[in-house]
Amino acid sequence: MSQYLTSLFSLAGKTAIVTGGTGGLGLEMTLALAEAGADIVSIELPNDPRSGLLAEGVQKTGRSLRVFHADVADSKALRETFAQIWEAGVTPDILLNCAGINRRGKVEDFSDEDIDAVFAINLKASFVAAQEVGRRLLQLNRPGKIINVASIISFIANINISPYAATKGGVLQMTKAMSNEWASKGIQVNCICPGYVKTPLTEVYTRDKAYNDYIIGRTPAGRWGLPEDFRGAIIFLASEASNFVTGTSLVVDGGLWCRNAVIVTTLSDDNTNAMKRSKYYFLSVVPLLRVVVADDRSSVGQYAIQIAAAHGFNVVTTCSLRHAALLRSYGARHLFDYHNEKVVEKIRDAVPELHYAFDTIGDSTSSGVASQAFGEGKSYLCTVRPGKANTENVTPQTEVTDVLVWTAFMKDHRYGKFYWPDDHELASEFFEKLPSWLEDGRIRSNTPKVLPGGLDAVPRGFQEHRGGKISGYKIVYKL
């Protein structure tokens, strides 16, 4: 390597202040800073059992290590620790904000204690540390590097970790805001966004075989990330090589984020006949997955939204405004009023790279209009109409497939001249996972409306259907 490149990435003579540097991802990145030449100042908990690993690792690099104790969740104590660091004569060049925790649970079940703990460490402590280092650099009129650690969850919110997702989204925006104010002062503020990395924080996922296999299958690199995968990223952002890089997020995820596919859904509160009378009816089927609560396909759509969201898909939906909250709770990210004449244009503007569709309406125009929402290039549409019926008018770049859900029941099926052999392996896998998904809230069942009277209530149920009253629920007859 040339002397120029060596010096470009060298941290010789620099001092890096680190939070969360005693374990997992933080430990690996801190040791990388030391190996690149930086002396380390570690802010860590008193009696942290992992501190020996950091001390041993830094010693092997020949760099110095100074340790200051503080619980970063205590803002007052953290500020006092920085005052001690400055009094000790430390001149900062680099800050690595890596302290972080997670708590798991349903949104409605999180206690104030858990919410406060996650916000205090993941977001407020990061802000306070960056503020203290930035303020000191300004006082000394020195350039510097502040590197925050966000997450791929800053972009893709997963279930059962809502406080964590909120804080990591906050770290991303905090990074941009600080960069806007300090870039002209020579202080670069950036963040690293890890994907799924094998650390103690992610053991809950790696121990789950189904989830572990899912992550590996969805990641183009074909594996979980490892802490050592972040050595290059941290050295780049901490060195002169990134002097014109600020306010950005460096995603290190093996390609998972770029594979975040998009499913579009729609929900209507009208019955089929009423929709056919609407001049905007066919525009309302532009999104890729149609949810019609007037018949049994409503369940297909509502469950498909949840399954797609649980697997990291970016779900876009058009809907009646009365169902917006329901679809958001299922995981829909973007919602559009399907009555809007420009709904096709709005979807294309919001999701220009849309290339996948699931049409569960399958009428004479739904697939054709749905395909108009696709971006440029090859696209794919799956229809529930047997034999790919009613797909003659899809756009030329659209490849059509069909699906018959009944093949999950371990027998062959015929529909007119069309024939499908049984294909139940995927359904079997799904049913194995379903109990745990229902338990942890990843999948929620339909909202039932119970009609008393047994079979005598069936005419009443059908009258609700004919009258277009069924909206967002399933009728259940009490026997």
**153-195 residue pLDDT tens:** 998 877 889 999 999 999 999 999 999 999 999 999 999 999 9
Q: Of residues 4, 164, 196, 380, which has the active-site annotation?
A: 164
Claim to verify: residue 190 and residue 334 sit in the same structural domain = no
pTM of the model: 0.57
Chain mean position to CA 186: 32
Claim to verify: residue 412 and residue 463 sit in the same structural domain = no
pLDDT at 8: 93
- Which residue matches tokens 């609700």? 464
The domain spanning residue 63 has which CATH number? 3.40.50.720
Claim to verify: residue 216 and residue 234 sit in the same structural domain = yes
pLDDT at 263: 38
Number of domains in the chain: 3
| Residue 274 is assigned to a structural domain of this protein | no
* Dist. CA 152–CA 435, nearest whole Å: 27
* Dist. CA 18–CA 22, nearest whole Å: 9
| CB-CB contact of 383 with 361 (8 Å) | no
Claim to verify: residue 453 and residue 426 sit in the same structural domain = no
Claim to verify: residue 436 and residue 451 sit in the same structural domain = no
* Dist. CA 237–CA 250, nearest whole Å: 9
| Residue 276 is assigned to a structural domain of this protein | no
Claim to verify: residue 345 and residue 204 sit in the same structural domain = no
Task: Verify whether residue 164 is a known catalytic residue.
Answer: yes
Claim to verify: residue 147 and residue 192 sit in the same structural domain = yes
What is the H or E stretch that residue 429 is in? helix 425-440
Claim to verify: residue 185 and residue 301 sit in the same structural domain = no
pLDDT at 407: 61
Comparing C-alpha atoms, which of 335, 348, 367 is closest to residue 267? 335
Chain mean position to CA 113: 24
Answer left, alpha or beta for residue 22, where phi above 0 means left and psi between -120 and 50 means alpha: alpha
Chain mean position to CA 428: 27
Last residue of a domain, one of 222, 252, 282: 252
What is the H or E stretch that residue 16 is in? strand 15-19
Chain mean position to CA 295: 32
| Residue 119 is assigned to a structural domain of this protein | yes
pLDDT per position as a tens digit, 19-66? 999 988 999 999 999 999 999 999 999 888 889 999 999 999 999 999
| Residue 147 is assigned to a structural domain of this protein | yes
| Residue 4 is assigned to a structural domain of this protein | no
pLDDT at 406: 64
| Residue 267 is assigned to a structural domain of this protein | no
Q: Compute how many other C-beta atoms are within 10 angstroms of the C-beta atom of residue 182.
A: 21
| Residue 271 is assigned to a structural domain of this protein | no
Claim to verify: residue 26 and residue 168 sit in the same structural domain = yes
Instruction: Report the Cα–Cα distance between both ends of the chain, in Å, rounded.
Output: 79
Point out the residues of the chain with pLDDT beneath 70: 1, 259-299, 318, 338, 405-410, 468, 471-472
| Residue 112 is assigned to a structural domain of this protein | yes
- Which residue matches tokens 């559009």? 336
pLDDT at 401: 87
Q: Compute how many other C-beta atoms are within 10 angstroms of the C-beta atom of residue 144.
A: 25
Return the DSSP state at 382. E
Claim to verify: residue 337 and residue 356 sit in the same structural domain = yes
Q: Which domain holds residue 453?
A: 447-478
Claim to verify: residue 399 and residue 454 sit in the same structural domain = no
Question: How far is the CA of 171 from the CAs of 125, 177, 201, in angstroms?
Answer: 10, 10, 18
Claim to verify: residue 343 and residue 245 sit in the same structural domain = no
pLDDT at 48: 86
* Dist. CA 387–CA 407, nearest whole Å: 14
